[in-house]
Chain A
Amino acid sequence: MKIEATGLEHFYGHEKVLDGVDLTIDSGSFTAIIGESGSGKTTLLSILSTLLQPTKGITRYDGKRLSELGNIDRFRRHNIGFVFQFHYLISYLTLRENIALGAIDESRIESLLHSLGIAKLSHRYSDEVSGGERQRAAIARALVNAPSVVFADEPTGNLDSKNALGVYKLFREFSHQGTGFVVASHDKKIADYADVIIEMEDGIVKQIHQ
């Protein structure tokens, strides 16, 4: 799925936090959004991922505007995955049950558990595994419906650097298999793994490195 944004502006009250953002995100690529704190990364990610309506400007998904996508829950379920800074695994469900929660069909679960290295832990609850393992389960949950794009905001914010690099590697591997990743991060190291780097500053796109 190709995502195009044109003329995005966003206000929180009177404060303008996005000031004319234009960009295109192609499927099957790993895009990193980097920039100082407060530069508008999270806001841009939320708009691109349909969670937030921009004050001005248009987002298109394979040429269709948001209003033309039909039921937005359904659209999200089939096309978009999310990974947050916190894993948000439901504590009374096992890792496997968490992954299965939003699954349209469960056929991918086993292979995902294996490729993320948590197959042996799948029957455990989230408080019975490590932070890195939790985040990998959250990534599996995001991937279970084979979405076109996965959006992640500071997905490594709670991980040590070794686990963080592991997550970037996973993103790169899955993007080579065709899933797009759009990841907002403070971490400069993400640049070593991403295909495209969008640098934000004060609500505008300062630079795009391919």
Chain B
Amino acid sequence: MITPIKALRKNRFKTALIFISMSVSIAAIFLISAISGGVVSMYSSMLKTDGDIIVTQKGIADTFFSDINRSAADEIAAINGVREVSALILGAAPVDPLPIVGIYGASKNRFKSYALKQGLYPSSGEVMLGSKIYETLKHPKTISLSKKEFRVSGVFKSRIGFEDGGVVMGLEDAGAVFHKSASIFLLALNDLGKSDAIVAQINKTYPQMEAKTTDGFIDSYNQFKIIKTSSDVIGAMAFLMGILGIVSMMSMVVNDRRAEFGIMRSIGLSSRVIIFKLLGETLIIALLAFAVAYGVSEAVLELIKHADKFQGYINGEITAALAIKVFVVSVVMALFGTLLPAVYAARVDPMSLIQRGGA
């Protein structure tokens, strides 16, 4: 155990370079996965609040474009097994001085899902603000939205970043701003066992609408797939860059240490011993790099969470599952990156020690 550390210390400049390149790659993988996971999980927990089933316009790619008739909500609420139906308008608009803010129009029965911190739920001509945006805008009395003034009736606290950085208003007011009746319905059920039957019934009765269980919706939602795929691609690129960094640095290390491997071969140590020796050395670096990348990522995520600029929209969490995944990725990165240079090291011909003029 002590020997590889001595070897790393002896080659400390290159060790440091390998360590930095691994740390950067691992941190990149951590951050991109945590942030994309955070976006998906924030949006899905928003939909899942009292939403066992979600109803949208049929064939729509993004809930922002969805437009359905809010009058259907009462009829759907009458279906056996449905406890409550809330209608939502999901929109985004500039709120001076912020260039873009999430705006949520909600039917009255939905208001209870927002925990009021101060004031009252909004009536017509009023809005309530998430605590984050309330701070960002420095406790405004009114806000202006699409050239209209709205009085701030209250402030709510939500752990979902999108909501905490957003504006909630009545469905009618939001309908006037965004020129639509409703974006989606969220259905809370009495009995989850009936969800498939209810989905089928809605889809049959309203051909222009599409009902899905919220879990099914999240699994098939295109926007989430795009976010996940791009984060996977960026993660894979970071992984490859990490491997390339290790391969090139380790090749230089092996070249510097040719005499060492030649002498090991000449005294009869097997190729395997040399390969494991080098793998062991990079594994040590990988473990350190993982620990540092983990710490740095947590710190960056914490900074992002509290950065006014992002209004809480960007919010990532390193779950245990993600940490384990990235740990495995780090180990694999170290092993893959070292294998080729190590095999090369194990093939150093002891003859080169005899023939070569110098150490």
Contact = CB atoms under 8 A, between A and B. Distances in A.
Contacts of B6: 92-93
Interface residues of B, number: 25
Contacts of B9: 92
A162 B3 CA distance: 35
A84 B268 contact: no
Contacts of B3: 93, 97
Contact of A73 (B263, B269, B351): B269
Interface string A140-171: 01100100000001000000000000000000
A58 interface: no
A45 B266 CA distance: 13
A77 B269 contact: yes
Contacts of A145: 268
Contacts of A82: 266-267, 350, 353
Given A90-B263, A92-B9, A93-B6, A84 B269 contact: no
Contact of B267 (A45, A93, A101): A101
A114 B260 CA distance: 25
Identify whether the interface residues of A are mostly helix, strand, loop, or mixed. mixed
Interface in B5-53: 6-7, 9-10
Most central of A42, A78, A90 by chain B CB within 10 Å: A90
Contact of B269 (A52, A81, A87, A102): A102
A39 interface: no
Nearest to A102: B267
Given A86-B359, A90-B263, A92-B9, A74 B354 contact: no
B259 interface: yes
Contacts of B10: 91-92
Contacts of B260: 88, 90
A78 B269 CA distance: 11
Interface string A83-124: 010111011110001000110000000000000000000000
Contact of B354 (A45, A73, A101): A45
Contacts of A27: none
B355 interface: yes
A153 B354 contact: yes
Contacts of A75: 268
A186 interface: no
Contacts of A42: 354-355
A84 B356 CA distance: 10
A101 B264 contact: yes
Interface string B249-291: 0000000000110111111111100000000000000000000
Contacts of A86: 259, 353, 358-359
The CB with the most chain A CB atoms within 10 A, among B263, B264, B353, B358, is that of B263
Contacts of A80: 268
A2 interface: no
A151 to B, nearest CB: 9
Given A92-B9, A141-B267, A52 B351 contact: yes
B270 to A, nearest CB: 5
Nearest to B257: A90
8 contacts: A51-B266, A73-B268, A73-B271, A76-B267, A80-B268, A82-B266, A91-B10, A102-B264
Given A86-B359, A88-B260, 12 more contacts: A51-B349, A73-B268, A74-B268, A75-B268, A82-B350, A84-B353, A86-B259, A88-B359, A91-B10, A92-B9, A92-B10, A101-B264
